[in-house]
Chain A
Amino acid sequence: MTPTIVLPVLIGGLYAAGVYLLLDRSLTRVLLGFLLLGNATNLLLLSTGGARGLAPILGYAEPDEMSDPLPQALILTAIVITFGITAFVLAMIHRSWRLSRQENVGTDEEDRRVAARSGTDADELDPDDLAPEDRPAGHADGLRGEPQAPSDDVELPRAGLR
């Protein structure tokens, strides 16, 4: 068996490009990255079958001339699974676009809130005693005492958070 350099280079290139795209915040790119990674993995599985050979059909080729059929079966299964998941992710991207007119990975607001909390353990204190910026999101007192503006003009108390 003569080892080929083409497959490893191809697999490595696909993995690199796939990981790069997967790290993007745009979901379409994430999906493309996932597709590249899936194909890289399929090629990796293909290359585990060893040297190339004839189609593994009884009567068509002798067993020692056949290529290994198992990786091909595994790849077929993997392709089907990738296909189904791709369809689902596309649906999620579409839904995300419908909801927010953007297809980026959203920010975990609750996580941000916990991270941005001041050093003292705000959880132990009465929210009413806290400075407005330390109060939990949605605390109504953040609005009290302001001049009575029309409700649609209420300023976001924590506008700088995002």
Chain B
Amino acid sequence: MTGVLAPLPVLLPLLGAAGTLLVGRHPAVQRALSVTVIVAVLGVSVALLVRADDLGATAVSVGGWPVPLGVVLVVDRLSALMLVVASAVALGVLLFAVGQGSADGSERTPLSVFHPTFLVLVAGVSNAFLAGDLFNLYVGFEILLMASYVLLTLGGTAPRIRGGITYVVVSLTSSLVFLAGIGLVYAATGTVNMAQLAVRLGELPEGTQLLLQSVLLIAFCIKAAVFPLSAWLPDSYPTAPAPVTAVFAGLLTKVGVYAIIRTQTLLFPGGALDGVLMWAALATMLIGILGAVAQTDIRRILSFTLVSHIGYMVFGISLGTTAGLAGAIFYVAHHIAIQTTLFLVAGLVERQGGSTAVDRLGGLAKASPVLAVLYFVPAMNLAGIPPFSGFIGKLGLLRAGVEVGTGPALVLVAGGVVTSLLTLLAVSRVWTRAFWRPRSQEPGADTADAAAADAGPDGPEPATVPAGRAADDGPTARQAARSAAWARHTEVATAAHPGAEAAEESATGTGGRPLPRVMVATTGAMVALTVALTGIAGPLYGLATRAAADLQERTSYLDAVLGDGERS
């Protein structure tokens, strides 16, 4: 049964990508197809999770090749849980994108590329979670990265190309480090199968082990954006379209975290580099959140909190105890959902207010109470306010830290609390300025500003301006025109991109439009999902604990892949 199901999360999206390419001229068919595929992947993942939780780890030899020769897919509790969360989030983002597409007019060209690429991304993520050997993990990473390059530079405007280049070069570097690491591992052990590696790596001299472990960890820490290898993330993520940023924030870094978990538990269970990881986790948490406090753009704030909260997961991993790992796994599940939701909300804010710069926003709570609720709930969840899952995850991690009780662990606990408080500061500043502050006094000028800002991250999309803001009376209109001219000027100065038309268009008074219902409904469903995580926190935390125990013992994984006879 698992043998049939396990390849499907990779296979279905790839076939779906081919199908959506074929029907690229029929947007409605394309949308229906990709939504169907993701729903199917979600269903398969849930089935896999139920079976993995009942029966333990299962290995599937693709193509029927015996284990050390062929490619192995391994489904254990951790990978199945990751698959479920990832596909649920992917479904939410896809529906949001469909809503955005039908609101903007689906004849826009990038959308016909969006669906196949998105499905390839999902296939890559699934492949990385299921991979039973290092090289297959590399291939999974490459598939998802290749898709992410395309998604990040969708439309090819100047800011996206600029951010995309940083992202591509950094990702390429990390991939090459990973590939070199695979080469070194193969040279030392003669295999790339992770279960065999788990047996053979332990027999190597300590120095060699340390070298291999650090090469792999460096590669994965770049992908997971662990400080000091995190600077690329806030630079490149905010420029992409809202659904793309959302799915990146939810999934891509977490694949890196997943790889770190596998490295630290399955391949190198000795905990040799736990100390280094602890300090890296502390620096990631604190420096990330200080970056978020300094920013004034919602998307950039969220990008920095993303970096910062990766620190929590690395903190849990670096403790090296079952409780720590369980906390980290729960936190990964929570954070995938919450960060994606917040980026979707940022997309809605941009549509409603015409900008994501907090300086240019105001009065959103009055203009759209629904949006205010949609922002407030996940923001409090992210900061870790009690009833929400963010609180439960952080509490679990802090308790695990106190249980370990060594000096560095206690420092990390303190750092975690400070980070949580600073997160609250960062998100509530957005709340007070963008949602509660009364709207600015100069509608015309403000509108042009907002439009200019909007043209920044999202060039080709016409700026959204709430109705009645672009009041066309004498001096204000002239000022708006001048402001638009200024915006055009800046664009020539920075790097000309086709946003000035949008600025001018709205300065002369285009009408606003209400938030599309599908987008609001999808975001609402995602918010409901993050709240529901609180409701199922008990079973979920139990599952995370069982997964962590599996990871610590390793026997379930090794038995599944190698069978009983080949453990020599």
Q: Which residues of A contact B (CB under 8 A)?
A: 22, 27, 30, 34, 37-38, 41, 44-45, 47-48, 70-71, 74, 77-78, 81, 84-85, 88-89, 92, 95-96, 99-100, 105-111, 114, 123, 127, 136-144, 151-152, 154, 156, 159, 162
Interface contact B183-A92, CB-CB below 8 Å:
no
* Cβ B139 vs Cβ A143 within 8 A: no
User: Can you report 15 residue pairs joining A to B where beta carbons are below 8 Å apart?
Assistant: A22-B169, A27-B165, A37-B173, A44-B183, A95-B156, A99-B161, A99-B497, A110-B238, A114-B295, A114-B296, A123-B296, A138-B452, A140-B442, A143-B479, A151-B482
- Say how far A70's CB is from chain B's closest CB, in angstroms: 7
Which of B153, B296, B445 is close to A136, meaning CB atoms less than 8 Å apart? B296
**Complex: how many Å from CA A99 to CA B479?**
29
Cα-based distance from A48 to B429 in the complex (angstroms): 54
Contact B168 A92 (CB under 8 A): yes
Asked if A88 and B161 sit within 8 Å, CB to CB, the answer is no
Is the Cβ of A154 less than 8 Å from the Cβ of B359? no
A1 CB to closest chain B CB, in angstroms? 13
Chain B residues within 8 Å of A, Cβ to Cβ = 135, 139, 142, 146, 149-150, 153, 156-158, 161-166, 168-169, 172-173, 175-176, 179-180, 182-184, 186-187, 192, 235, 238, 294-297, 300, 357-360, 429, 433, 442, 445-446, 448-449, 452-453, 479-483, 485-487, 489-490, 493-497
Asked if A111 and B449 make an inter-chain contact with CB atoms under 8 angstroms apart, the answer reads no
Q: Is the CB of A105 within 8 A of B296?
A: no
What are the residues of chain B within 8 A of A30 when measuring CB–CB? 169
A152 cross-chain contacts in B, Cβ below 8 A: 485, 489
Asked if residues B135 and A140 are in contact (CB atoms below 8 Å), the reply is no
Interface of B is mostly: helix
Known pairs A105-B162, A136-B296. 20 more at Cβ < 8 A?
A: A70-B186, A77-B139, A81-B175, A84-B146, A88-B168, A99-B156, A107-B162, A109-B494, A123-B429, A127-B359, A138-B453, A138-B490, A139-B449, A143-B483, A143-B486, A151-B481, A151-B485, A152-B485, A154-B489, A156-B493
Known: A92-B161, A92-B168. A123 touches B359 (CB 8 A): yes
B164 to chain A, nearest CB (A): 6
Most buried by B among A37, A99, A141: A99
A98 to chain B, nearest CB (A): 9
Q: Give min CB distance, B408 to chain A, whole Å.
A: 31
Which residues from chain A contact B169 at a C-beta distance below 8 Å? 22, 30, 34, 105
**Bound complex: CA A27 to CA B146 (Å):** 18
Residue in B closest to A111 when the chains form the complex, CB atoms: B235
Assuming the contacts A85-B146, A108-B162, A114-B294, asked whether A154 and B176 have C-beta atoms less than 8 A apart, the reply is no
